[in-house]
Amino acid sequence: MDSRNRIDRAALDRVAGELRQHPAFADAKLAFCTGVTDWWLGVPINRALMSDTGAIAVAVTITGLSRTSAERGASLQTVIDALSAGGLASATRIRAMIDILAAKGAVAITPHPSDKRRLVIAPTEVMLESLRLWLRAVLDPVARLFDLPAAPDEIAAIPGIAERYFTTVMLRSGVDGFSIFDNWPEAQVFSDRRQGYVLMLHLAAATGAEMAVPRAALAARYFVSASQITALLVEAERHGWLERLPGGMVRLTPVFADRLELWVAREIAVVGMWVEQKLAPRPA
């Protein structure tokens, strides 16, 4: 992050590369993959928030706009404009996702105070608490690689800290077109599919080239069908990213394994760099 809250891509990749050389990176990578997966499994609303990148983007945009707009919320058209311009989701998908979030109590939809024809969409405590728990889960691996100014529990307990972080993500995505998945088509294939993100976490947790991917067990855990897990693996194999082996095993290609590791390093780096900047001691 620079002084204007912009994400310096070159600096981010430099820090991510340094983190991968850290002696604690392997443990931090596993902590990130298991921590985010456990967060996702722990609260039912997370399965809607994290179903795909479009759903994540809708939740983050609504949260960010609730802090930056005068109405303390976002109009439907504002959310559509912000996300459809970047190709993250269609207007139809955005409307459907907002309806799902509203039905699950994650957003509140109320009339605009001065224009009753408009609706204001704002995150409820249900969504905000979920985002806080995500940040807490990620701060543990961050603390293994960064010299944080306080313990993860203390940082996560700072009022508004998660909302501030996700507002930065929203602004950088909308203004700078930033994405943690920049120049990585493999991630887009996985994360655009329902619960493909958590399958990608499972693959990223691998400690070697070969790993078990038990379709039935993962399908039950991720609330999808075994055929959906298979379809993702078949597509990944078709692209040459992995090879399916007998006995429910897969072998990751060196390039794909490297990119999974880089992705986790970038996820950890962007949170660590943001916390360092926002919580750095002020000059006397």
Overall pTM surpassing 0.85 (yes/no): yes
Provide the residue type at 240 as one letter.
Answer: G
Is residue 283 assigned to a domain?
Answer: no
Query: Is 31's pLDDT higher than 90?
Result: yes
113 and 197 housed in the same domain: no
199 and 105 housed in the same domain: no
Q: Round the average pLDDT of the chain to a whole number and report it.
A: 85
Q: Look at residues 180, 204, 219 and tell me which one is the last residue of a structural domain.
A: 180
Query: Is 240's pLDDT higher than 70?
Result: yes
CATH no. for residue 59? 1.10.10
92 and 219 housed in the same domain: no
Query: Is 255's pLDDT higher than 60?
Result: yes
Span 89-144, pLDDT tens digits: 678 888 888 888 888 888 999 887 777 777 889 899 988 988 899 999 999 999 99
DSSP strand pairing (249-252 vs 242-245): antiparallel
Taking residues 267-280, what's their average pLDDT? 90
Between 184 and 53, where is the model more confident? Answer: 184
Angle of helix 254-278 versus helix 196-204 axis, rounded to 10: 100
Taking residues 56-79, what's their average pLDDT? 79
Between 168 and 3, where is the model more confident? Answer: 168
Query: Is 256's pLDDT higher than 70?
Result: yes
Which residue from 140, 141, 136, 135 is spatially nearest to 19, judged by alpha carbons?
A: 141
63 and 87 housed in the same domain: yes
- What pLDDT is recorded for position 115? 73
Q: Look at residues 154, 180, 206 and tell me which one is the last residue of a structural domain.
A: 180
Distances (CA, A) of 8 to 61, 204, 234, 270: 21, 25, 35, 10
Instruction: Give just the sign of the alpha carbon dihedral 138, 141, 147, 149.
Output: positive
- Phi-psi region at 210: left, alpha or beta (left = phi > 0; alpha = psi -120 to 50): beta
Between 105 and 32, where is the model more confident? Answer: 32
Could you give the residue ranges of the DSSP H alpha helices within 70-151? 76-84, 91-103, 125-145
Q: Quote the CA–CA distance of 152 and 118 in Å, as a whole number.
A: 40
Domain with 225 in it: 185-259
22 and 158 housed in the same domain: yes
If one counts the domains in the chain, the total is 2
227 and 242 housed in the same domain: yes
Which percentage of the chain shows pLDDT scores above 70? 85
CATH no. for residue 218? 1.10.10.10
Residue corresponding to tokens 């809607």:
48
Span 172-228, pLDDT tens digits: 665 556 666 666 777 777 877 777 888 999 999 998 889 999 999 999 988 889 999
Q: Look at residues 180, 206, 223 and tell me which one is the last residue of a structural domain.
A: 180
CB distance 194 to 51 below 8 Å: yes
Taking residues 78-89, what's their average pLDDT? 72
Is residue 3 assigned to a domain?
Answer: no
